[in-house]
Amino acid sequence: MKTWKSIGTAIMATTLLAMVNAGCAAKQVEVRDTWTDSANRSATAASRAETAASRAEAAAARMEAAAQKVENVAGKYNSTLDKSLNK
C-alpha cells in the first residue's frame, strides 16, 4: 500500500510541476533590445564630434597662418620705419 501511495504522490508531483512549468513558460516577458538604438546614437555622436574636431583644427591652422602674415607685415613695417628713421 505504501508503494502505491508513493507512486501516486510522484505522479501528482510530476503533474503539478508540469502545470507550473507550462504556466511559467506562457508568461515569459518578451526581451526588448534597448542597446542597439543607444549604440547607434553614440556612434553618430562620436562621428559628429570627430567632424567638429577636424573643423576646429582647420580653423586653428588658418588662424596660425593669418598670425604669421600679420607678423611678417609688422616686421616689414618696422624695418621700413627703422630705415627711414636712420636716414
Radius of gyration of the chain (CA): 41
pLDDT beyond 70 at 22: no
What is d(CA 54, CA 46) in angstroms, rounded to the nearest whole number? 12
Give the mean model confidence (pLDDT) for residues 27-36.
75
Name the residue with higher pLDDT: 81 or 55: 55
What is d(CA 84, CA 87) in angstroms, rounded to the nearest whole number? 6
Q: Quick one: cell of 66?
A: 593669418
Q: Quick one: cell of 8?
A: 501516486
Give the mean model confidence (pLDDT) for residues 12-41.
73
Output the pLDDT for position 54.
Answer: 95
pLDDT beyond 80 at 29: no
